[in-house]
Amino acid sequence: MEPLFVWLEATPLSTWLRESPSLWAFPFVLILHTVGLAFFVGTNVAWDVRVLGFSLGIPLEALRRYFLVMWAGFWINAFSGVLLLLAYPTKALTNPLFYAKLALITFGVVLAFRIRREVNGLGARADAPPTARMLAAVSLVCWIAVIFAGRLLAYTCTRLTVDFPC
């Protein structure tokens, strides 16, 4: 893996992201990642909270349109996440927490699809089935874990770059 890290860190994009004093480099990518997180996870949390029985005045069917917002946030995060990975590939790819975060995101997306399928066709009915409520509770825990894992990535690395330990 070491040659891959050396090659990635030497690419012009990686060097620019890591070393540029421009606000359009690393700081902008971090801001983009945070905004994507707000749309992606925020939409999931709103959906989960409603399925759990809060805000019963909002029909579940009315929240369906926010899946577009969720997917927009997902793709913003995927794009900005790849850029963050390119900026510090050694830092991310040598940290087991990075892989845990990716697994949790995958699990969260699977849960979102399962919950959507469980409540499909309920229309204006105020309550979600017990299975959907249980999945929504697990989903909330999952998204909290994703946020914690992502935040902890900044503090749990053993190597920042190939030649520089944390």
The neighbour count for residue 93, using CB atoms within 10 Å, is 15
The Cα-based distances of 143 to 13, 44, 45, 123 in angstroms read 30, 8, 8, 26
State the pLDDT at residue 42: 95
**pLDDT value at residue 125:** 64
Rounded Cα gap, residues 103 and 81, in angstroms: 14
| CA 36, chain centre distance (Å) | 8
Per-residue pLDDT at 124 exceeds 70: no
**DSSP, residue by residue, 98-116:** HHHHHHHHHHHHHHHHHHH
Residue 33 in this model has a pLDDT that exceeds 90: yes
pLDDT tens for each residue of 35-83 = 999 999 999 999 999 999 898 888 888 888 899 999 999 999 999 999 9
Give me the mean pLDDT over the 130-135 stretch. Answer: 94
The model's pLDDT over 15-29, given as tens digits with 9 standing for 90+, comes to 999 999 998 899 999
CA distance 91 to 35: 22
Taking the CA of residue 109 as centre, how many other CA atoms within 13 Å lie in the half-sphere pointing to its CB?
A: 12
Q: What φ, ψ does residue 165 adopt, rounded to 5°? A: -75, 155
Domain boundaries defined on the chain: 2-165
> Given a cut of 90, is residue 111 above it in pLDDT?
yes
Amino acid at 119: V
Task: Give percent of the chain above pLDDT 70.
Answer: 98
pLDDT at 2: 85
- Say if residues 26 and 20 touch (Cβ distance below 8 Å): yes
Number of helical (H) and strand (E) elements in the chain, helices listed first: 8, 2
